[in-house]
Copies of this chain bind each other. A is one copy, B any other.
Amino acid sequence: MSEKYFSETFKPRFCDTDALGHINNTMVPVWFEGARDPVFKWFMPELDLSQWKLILAKIDATFHGQMYYEQPMEIRTYVGRIGGSSFDIYQELWQDGNKCASGTAVMVYFCYEKQASLKIPTEIKNTMQEYLFSSD
């Protein structure tokens, strides 16, 4: 069974390191948010900032191993859970063949004007289904 995910690759920068000589942990939420762009586009194809419809409810990140300056990184972005108006995005950070970090972002489809959550449309749910993470 093939597994579908969004892949983003980039190179960590010198200023991403800290005094212990590795990448500082606070970069991981930054990179994970950056790699959620394709998810934002499901709900807002034009990424119109004045019509934003997503709220971030919670994030977590687990650190499995050290991350290093200069070696390319890949972030793999999956759907972790599909709810009625909320959903989880599950992400992994890979460097040099190692899964260095993983984490989940709980997001809510939301109308800022009405201050109310919205039902995720069926067509978006169908797309989400394709990216559903299976730990097998």
- Give residues in A with beta carbon < 8 Å to B: 10-11, 13-15, 17-22, 24-26, 29-30, 33-34, 37, 40, 47, 49, 52, 55-63, 69-70
Contacts and interface: CB of A to CB of B under 8 A. Distances in A.
Closest 10 CB pairs of A and B: A13-B34, A60-B60, A17-B19, A15-B24, A19-B49, A58-B62, A26-B30, A15-B26, A19-B21, A26-B29
A118 B96 CA distance: 29
A99 to B, nearest CB: 14
Contacts of A70: 37, 47
B26 A33 contact: yes
B19 A59 contact: no
**Majority secondary structure, A binding face:** mixed
A57 B63 contact: yes
Nearest to A21: B19
B63 A25 contact: no
A26 B103 CA distance: 14
Given A29-B29, A59-B61, 9 more contacts: A10-B10, A11-B34, A15-B18, A19-B19, A19-B69, A25-B59, A58-B63, A60-B60, A60-B61
